Structure 1
């Protein structure tokens, strides 16, 4: 039995544009409009999921998905950094940010470390692997990074080396705990996609 998982990053929000740790802000009007413009381009799925963040739920809705909220797909818990920009945190706590970006076990913000987060997402992926058919999930970019790291057997240090633009789809297929990756693609109506 082969499972297929398509992970879609949320449309543009102010937090994404400002490189701000998500604080529950909604999609920008343009991001929601772009998601609505590509509704219907996704292949049929046996189930649709969304991370609990507002921008993920709103993107799923704009894409026309009747998605169930999946708390296990919540983004990386950044503790006391939530709502602050990376520039603000870097200026106030340069050593903490450097340590966090270089050591997957570090959690200077009081939230999850990248290692803990990847472990949580790995558990979700293992549970999803028993679902026969296709799952479409709208998730935070860091969820896409964690699944990619685990699917490829890459070191956790590779987590920050994966770029996930808004409204991109990355597909994973697998069985028996072995996953393959189809590299990401933008969701759009251009003829070459």
Structure 2
């Protein structure tokens, strides 16, 4: 049986991410984010790059994901299924502002993954989109690197491990985090590994 190795990489910091703004705008990496991604690329000391050998590299269409891939020495193909959540009217706006101007809508969104008071995608819709993509990759037998957004990685983990939808709020994904999944047959497995030394 052929297995697929998938490394999901969260893009580096953007100004919006640091300031707790909703995504959905095409922000570039900020200076610190670019510096961190370049440092990660050089820190591995591995001529194959910080993420090792791969057959396919994919990226969200967003500038932050493409720039992160570039800083890591990767040449990605754009994959629409890896796009950030569409936050509709909240895109680019501070969380604090929404908490003051639309407190009930924010509470609804935080408590119900099917809710989309901003007029964009619900978190459940993002999981459906990402889950379909994950299921298509599982039996390909390739080593895939995919640079994307924290919310995409969160819902991917929930889908891969067949967790209840509400569990996505308990998955925290930091900038430049790498989540490894191995797909074989009809299942994904989460793979945790020690960093390479020397």
Report the aligned-residue RMSD: 1.8
Q: Deviations over 1:9-62 (max 9, x none)?
A: 011110110111122121011211221122221111000000011100110011
Structure 2 gaps of 5+ residues are 42-48
Partners of 2:131 and 2:153 in 1: CA distance: 11
Partner of 2:112: 103
Partners of 1:120 and 1:91 in 2: CA distance: 31
Greater than 2 Å deviation, 4+ residue runs: 182-185
Partners of 2:59 and 2:101 in 1: CA distance: 33
Partners of 1:38 and 1:48 in 2: CA distance: 17
Q: Secondary structure at the match of 2:57?
A: strand
Partner of 1:28: 30
Q: TM-score, normalised by structure 2?
A: 0.90
Map 1:92-131 onto structure 2 (within 5 A): 92-131=101-140
Q: TM-score, normalised by structure 1?
A: 0.93
Partners of 2:155 and 2:16 in 1: CA distance: 20
Q: 1:30 to 1:184 in 2, by over 3 A?
A: farther
Q: CA deviation at 1:184?
A: 8.5
Aligned length: 189
Q: 1:116 to 1:184 in 2, by over 3 A?
A: farther
Partners of 2:95 and 2:131 in 1: CA distance: 26
CA contact (8 A) 2:139 2:183 kept: no
Partners of 2:142 and 2:78 in 1: CA distance: 19
Partner of 1:3: 4
Partner of 2:20: 19
Partner of 1:81: 90
Q: CA deviation at 1:145?
A: 0.4
Q: Deviations over 1:117-144 (max 9, x none)?
A: 1011000001111321210011000111
